[in-house]
């Protein structure tokens, strides 16, 4: 097995963590979720960090975690949706592994986040407007660093993982 790193980027609720876990299992690689790492190190949930330290405090923590995780070899990492906002994160991700952008139609994201109480950026009144704004702001950043783009919409996680693995093998990035 080539010790290639695979980094998943995309908006919240596109399935980065779920797909990442399954992809890591399929490739027999360790899996890391950058938000889960931040929570473990802080001893607090992302929403609490946002409340106490603000988004800048959270992004500082995120930048440090992404720098450390991307220096590992042969890992699958699911990043937080806003990780691409920082140039340092984009540079580390694009230079240290293969970046897979998971995308999803806005209406599907709305359905997936309908009952979500944990995502700090979705706690206002108009989730659709927030998601639309985030998508407009971040889509060019995802595209800037993505080696591949897959749409996580109606297919199963297993099917999506098979598509990703097939493409990576075709391009000889994995054995």
**Does the residue 78 lie in any domain?**
yes
Are the beta carbons of 79 and 102 closer than 8 angstroms? no
Are the beta carbons of 100 and 9 closer than 8 angstroms? yes
**Does the residue 121 lie in any domain?**
yes
pTM to 2 decimal places = 0.92
- How high is the pLDDT of residue 1? 38
- How high is the pLDDT of residue 111? 81
Q: How many domains does the chain have?
A: 1
- How high is the pLDDT of residue 2? 43
- Distance, in Å, from the CA atom of 168 to the CA atom of 146, rounded to the nearest integer, reads 13
- Distance, in Å, from the CA atom of 105 to the CA atom of 84, rounded to the nearest integer, reads 19
**Does the residue 165 lie in any domain?**
no
**Cα 86 from chain centre:** 14
**Does the residue 25 lie in any domain?**
yes
* pLDDT higher than threshold 60 for residue 97: yes
CATH code (residue 80): 3.40.50.300
| DSSP reduced 3-state for 78 | strand
- How high is the pLDDT of residue 50? 87
Domain limits for position 59: 6-159
Lowest mean pLDDT among 44-48, 56-60, 115-119: 115-119
Model confidence pLDDT, tens digit, residues 47-76? 899 889 998 999 999 999 999 999 999 999
**Does the residue 18 lie in any domain?**
yes
**Does the residue 116 lie in any domain?**
yes
Percentage of the residues of the chain whose pLDDT score is greater than 90: 72
Q: Comparing C-alpha atoms, which of 8, 46, 53, 55 is closest to residue 29?
A: 8
**Does the residue 169 lie in any domain?**
no
Contacts of 7 (CB under 8 A, 6+ apart): 70, 76, 77, 79, 93, 96, 97, 98, 99, 100
What does 93-145 look like in DSSP terms, one character per residue?
Answer: HHHHSEEEEEE--HHHHHHHTTT--S-GGG-SS-HHHHHHHHHHHHHHHHHHH
**Does the residue 175 lie in any domain?**
no
Lowest mean pLDDT among 26-40, 95-109, 121-135, 154-168: 121-135
Are the beta carbons of 75 and 21 closer than 8 angstroms? no
């Amino acid at each position: 097995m080539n010790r290639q790193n695979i980094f998943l980027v995309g908006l919240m609720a596109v399935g980065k963590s779920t797909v990442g876990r399954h992809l890591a299992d399929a490739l027999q690689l360790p899996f890391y979720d950058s938000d889960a790492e931040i929570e473990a190190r802080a001893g607090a949930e992302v929403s609490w960090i946002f409340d106490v330290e603000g988004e800048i405090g959270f992004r500082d923590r995120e930048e440090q975690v992404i720098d450390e995780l991307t220096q590992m070899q042969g890992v699958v990492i699911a990043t937080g949706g806003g990780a691409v906002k920082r140039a340092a994160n984009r540079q580390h991700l694009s230079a240290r592994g293969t970046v897979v952008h998971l995308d999803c139609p806005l209406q599907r994201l709305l359905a997936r986040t309908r009952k979500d109480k944990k995502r700090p950026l979705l706690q206002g009144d108009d989730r659709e407007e927030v998601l639309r704004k985030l998508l407009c702001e971040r889509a060019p950043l995802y595209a800037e660093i993505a080696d591949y783009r897959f749409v996580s919409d109606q297919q199963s996680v297993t099917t999506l993982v098979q598509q990703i693995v097939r493409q990576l093998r075709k391009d000889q990035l994995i054995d």
